């Protein structure tokens, strides 16, 4: 009797309804798992041989067959059949066509429930490697550009209001720090993918003498997953991955917003080259920052994918349910977009041009306020008093059209008039160089930050 893998001809008296078959089919999403599915099958077959559940001839036939299937996938000639419900069944169906009887022993001791999880984890392991590489590249580029812009002043904002003088370099280093943090998150998650689900079976294990530790080690995991029910039902590692992509997306969205804002004529601090601008179909003069806007929106979409994955995998009874099949569409969408957006961010970082005059102009003298208050503190005044005095100077400056440092001498106690007169000459480079705390925007501190972040990238 010819038996199709998957749907057992023995159990059903009629074919699956066409609509159900279409909705149930996941090949459009999961076919990309083929390299991992083949690796998992090869290792599983070797384990079956090692414990005496497969003859040497059958193993040889399976290995040969899997190689042939691999060659078809690699050549793009693998022909999917309508009845292939998912990548696992497509591979097994083709293997059966190619080698016949021995293929029917490959699924011994495993289920698609543990198979899909091992495939997903192997895929994720590779994908996290790529994510680390992508982030390292972006961070490296940010630091390279930062190095040449440590003395180019740029206002720093809180509440979208000018707060302090910083530099373009300091701003770029802040995004490199974000990328390095995500890089560590990706590395941490990859290290946690150390338990192998393969061999857990459908939900509660099986009766055959499988060597799950052998399978785990051959696939590069530290150990088999400790509980078959958990191994097949949980999607928590995938949820962590989508959370990581959402978090990277949030960081990139802030870079996107800053690029949109700083390249808009109202700010004019930065300019995007033509290759990173798009036009308007109606307004001939427009140079729109669509790429930066796409950076801004990516994190929101990934956050949606996180919410969808958390929601679709929650509230289910213990073992596998078909609801879980939605996991991969969400995971792959979040991952694909994240890789694209990291590359898009790198293009923007490499291509963006500075407009130093506008930047300098925007570092208005009112940004000297903290510098002045800190200097009054250094001369012995309490910080609250200094805050009050400089606040008064800022108000006078506003009312009289002078600068805050220019107005200071008129509001300090008589003993500090000389100091205030000295401070009246403070200019932007003085404000920047005067910053001393670790992590501050001074060129000196930024140089240290760059060294520190480069050493983190080198360790990744
Ligand atoms: N295509 C399925 C998925 O992605 C594989 C597991 C199917 N298991 C099952 N018992 N139907 O979730």
Tell me the CA–centroid distance for residue 29 and ligand 1, in Å: 12
The band of 25, judged by pLDDT with boundaries at 50, 70 and 90, is very high
In a domain, 442, yes or no: no
Does 128 share its domain with 235?
Answer: yes
Nearest CA to ligand 1 atom 3: 325
The CA angle 239-188-179, to the nearest 5 degrees, is: 90
Tell me the average pLDDT across 137-151. 98
CA atoms within 13 A on the CB side of 4: 15
- Residue range(s) defining the domain that contains residue 140: 112-361
What average pLDDT does the chain have?
A: 96
Same domain, 76 and 209: no
Specify the CATH number for the domain of residue 301: 1.20.200.10
350 and 391 in a common domain: no
**420 shares a domain with 302:** no
Q: Which atom of ligand 1 is nearest to the CA of 116?
A: 5
Residue 1 has pLDDT above 90, yes or no: no
Given a contact cutoff of 8 angstroms between Cβ atoms, the answer to whether 260 and 289 are in contact is yes
Q: Which two tokens stand for residue 261?
A: 């804002």
Ligand 1, residues at Cβ distance < 6 Å:
26, 30, 86, 112-113, 116, 320, 324-325, 328
Measured in Å, residue 89 CA sits from the centre of ligand 1 at 10
Residue located nearest, by CA, to atom 11 of ligand 1: 322
Q: What is the CATH number of the domain that holds 77?
A: 1.10.275.10
Q: Are residues 160 and 285 in the same domain?
A: yes
- For residues 357 and 412, membership in a common domain is answered with no
pLDDT, mean of residues 229-246: 98
Identify whether residues 419 and 391 lie together within a single domain: yes
pLDDT band at 295 (very low <50, low <70, confident <90, very high): very high
Does residue 144 sit within a domain? Answer: yes
Query: pLDDT at residue 215 above 90?
Result: yes
Q: Judge if 280 and 383 occupy the same domain.
A: no
Does residue 317 belong to any structural domain of this protein? yes
How many Å apart are CA 121 and CA 37, to the nearest integer? 11
| Nearest CA, atom 12, ligand 1 | 325
194 has a pLDDT exceeding 50: yes
Provide the pLDDT for residue 8: 66
State whether 145 and 211 are in the same domain.
Answer: yes
Does the residue 195 lie in any domain? yes
CA-based nearest residue to 199, from 280, 109, 95: 109
State yes or no: pLDDT of 4 exceeds 70.
Answer: no
CATH number of residue 415's parent domain: 1.10.40
Q: What is the pLDDT of residues 54-92, one digit of tens each?
A: 999 999 999 999 999 999 999 999 999 999 999 999 999
Calculate how far, in angstroms, residue 26's C-alpha sits from the geometric centre of ligand 1: 9
Which ligand 1 atom sits closest to the C-alpha of 30? 4
Q: Pairing relation of β-strands 153-158 and 223-224? A: unpaired
SS (H, E, C) the chain: CCCCCCCCCCCCCCCCCHHHHHHHCCHHHHHHHHHHHHHHHHHHHHHHHHCCCCCHHHHHHHHHHHHHHHHHHHHCCCCCCCCCCCHHHHHHHHHHHHHCHHHHHCCCCCCHHHHHHHHHHHHHHHHHHHHHHHHHHHHHHHHHHHHCCCCCEEEEEECCEEEEEEEHHHHHHHHHHHHHHHHHHHHHHHHHCCEECCCCCCCCCCCCCCCHHHHHHHCCCCEECCCHHHHHHCCHHHHHHHHHHHHHHHHHHHHHHHHHHHHCCCCCCEECCHHHCECCCCCCCCCECHHHHHHHHHHHHHHHHHHHHHHHCCCCCCCCCHHHHHHHHHHHHHHHHHHHHHHHHHHHHHHCEECHHHHHHHCCHHHHHHHHHHHHHHCCCCHHHHHHHHHHHHHHHHHHCCCHHHHHCCCCCHHHHHHHHHHCCCCHHHHHHHCCCCCCCCHHHHHHHHHHHHHHHHHC
Give dist(CA 149, CA 446) in Å, integer: 10
Whose tokens are 């066509």? That residue is: 97
Question: Are the beta carbons of 127 and 245 closer than 8 angstroms?
Answer: no
Q: Determine the atom of ligand 1 nearest the C-alpha atom of 325.
A: 12
Q: Pick the closest to residue 196 from 255, 140, 148, 125 (CA basis).
A: 125
Q: Count of domains in the chain? A: 3
What is the CB-side half-sphere exposure of residue 162 using CA atoms within 13 A? 17
Q: Note whether residue 229 is domain-resident.
A: yes
State the pLDDT confidence band at 355, using cuts at 50, 70 and 90: very high
Ligand 1: nearest atom to the Cα of 26: 1
* Domain shared by 117 and 95, yes or no: no
Closest atom of ligand 1 to CA, residue 87: 1
Q: Are residues 319 and 381 in the same domain?
A: no
Q: Phi first, then psi: what are they for 157, rounded to 5°?
A: -120, 145
Residues of the chain with pLDDT > 70: what percent? 98
List residues with catalytic annotation.
159, 280
CA distances from 41 to 110, 197, 232, 320, 366 (A): 10, 13, 17, 20, 67
Percent of the chain beyond pLDDT 90? 94
HSE-up (13 A, CA, CB side) for residue 144: 11
Ligand 1 probe mutation, 33, 91, 113, most atoms within 8 A of CB: 113
In a domain, 447, yes or no: no
180 Cα–ligand 1 center, Å: 36
Query: Per-residue confidence at 2, pLDDT binned at 50, 70, 90?
Result: very low
Average pLDDT over residues 427-438: 94
Domain boundary residue, one of 72, 104, 136: 104
Pocket test for ligand 1, best of 88, 89, 112 (most atoms within 8 A of CB): 112
What is the Å distance from ligand 1's center to 252 Cα?
Answer: 34
Ligand 1 center from residue 248 Cα (angstroms):
29
Beta-bridge mates of residue 162 = 157
Mutate to test the pocket of ligand 1, among 5, 28, 86 (most ligand atoms within 8 A of CB): 86
The mean pLDDT of 228-249, rounded to a whole number, is 98
Average pLDDT, integer, range 239-257: 98
- Asked, for residue 125, whether it belongs to a domain, the answer is yes
Return d(Cα 261, Cα 269) in angstroms, integer: 9
Question: How far apart are alpha carbons 95 and 98 in whole angstroms?
Answer: 5
For the whole model, what pTM was predicted? Answer: 0.95
pLDDT at 158 over 70: yes
Give the pLDDT band (50/70/90) at residue 283: confident
The position carrying tokens 């001939």 is 284
- In this predicted structure, the answer to whether residue 407 has a pLDDT above a threshold of 50 is yes
Q: What is the mean pLDDT of residues 400-423?
A: 94
Per the structure block, which two tokens stand in for 341? 């957006």
Domain-terminating residue out of 73, 104, 135:
104
Per-residue pLDDT averaged across 95-106, rounded?
98
Residue 303 maps to a domain: yes
Same domain, 67 and 206: no
Residue 307 has pLDDT above 90, yes or no: yes
Q: Per-residue pLDDT averaged across 319-327, rounded?
A: 98
């Amino acid at each position: 009797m010819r038996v199709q893998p998957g749907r057992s001809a023995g159990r059903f008296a009629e074919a699956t309804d066409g609509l159900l078959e279409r909705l149930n089919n996941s090949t459009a999403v999961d076919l990309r798992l083929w390299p991992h599915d083949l690796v998992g099958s090869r290792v599983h077959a070797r384990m079956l041989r090692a414990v005496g559940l497969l003859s040497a001839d059958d193993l040889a036939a399976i290995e040969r067959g899997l190689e042939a299937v691999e060659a078809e996938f690699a050549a793009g000639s693998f022909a999917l059949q309508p009845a292939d419900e998912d990548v696992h069944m497509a591979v097994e169906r083709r293997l059966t066509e190619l080698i016949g009887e021995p293929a029917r022993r490959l699924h011994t001791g495993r289920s698609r429930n543990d198979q899909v999880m091992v495939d997903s984890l192997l895929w994720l392991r590779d994908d996290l490697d790529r994510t680390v590489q992508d982030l390292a590249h972006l961070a490296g580029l940010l630091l390279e550009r930062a190095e040449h812009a440590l003395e180019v002043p740029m206002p720093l904002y809180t509440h979208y209001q000018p707060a302090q003088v910083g530099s373009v370099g300091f701003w770029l280093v802040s995004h490199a720090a974000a990328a390095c943090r995500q890089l560590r998150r990706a590395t941490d998650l990859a290290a946690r993918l150390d338990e192998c689900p393969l061999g857990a079976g459908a939900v509660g294990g099986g009766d055959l003498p499988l060597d799950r530790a052998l399978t785990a080690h051959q696939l590069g995991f530290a150990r088999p997953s400790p509980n078959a029910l958990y191994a097949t039902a949980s999607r928590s590692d995938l949820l962590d991955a989508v959370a990581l992509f959402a978090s990277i997306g949030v960081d990139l969205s802030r870079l996107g917003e800053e690029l949109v804002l700083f390249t808009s004529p109202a700010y004019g601090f930065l300019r995007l080259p033509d290759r990173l601008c798009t036009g308007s179909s109606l307004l001939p003069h427009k140079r729109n920052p669509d790429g930066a806007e796409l950076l801004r929106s990516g994190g929101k979409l990934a956050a949606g994918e996180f919410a969808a994955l958390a929601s679709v995998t929650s509230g289910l009874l213990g073992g596998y349910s078909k609801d879980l099949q939605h996991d991969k569409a969400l995971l792959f969408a979040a991952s694909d977009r994240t890789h694209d957006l990291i590359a898009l961010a790198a293009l923007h970082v490499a291509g963006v041009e500075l407009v130093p005059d506008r930047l300098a102009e925007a570092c208005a003298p009112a940004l000297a306020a903290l510098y002045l208050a800190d200097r009054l503190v250094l001369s012995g005044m309490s910080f609250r008093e200094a805050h009050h005095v400089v606040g008064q100077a800022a108000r006078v400056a506003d009312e009289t059209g002078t600068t805050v440092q220019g107005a200071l001498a008129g509001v300090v106690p008589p003993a500090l008039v000389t100091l205030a007169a000295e401070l009246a000459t403070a200019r932007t480079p003085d404000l920047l160089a005067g910053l001393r705390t670790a992590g501050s925007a001074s060129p000196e501190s930024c140089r240290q930050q760059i060294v520190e972040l480069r050493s983190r990238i080198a360790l990744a």
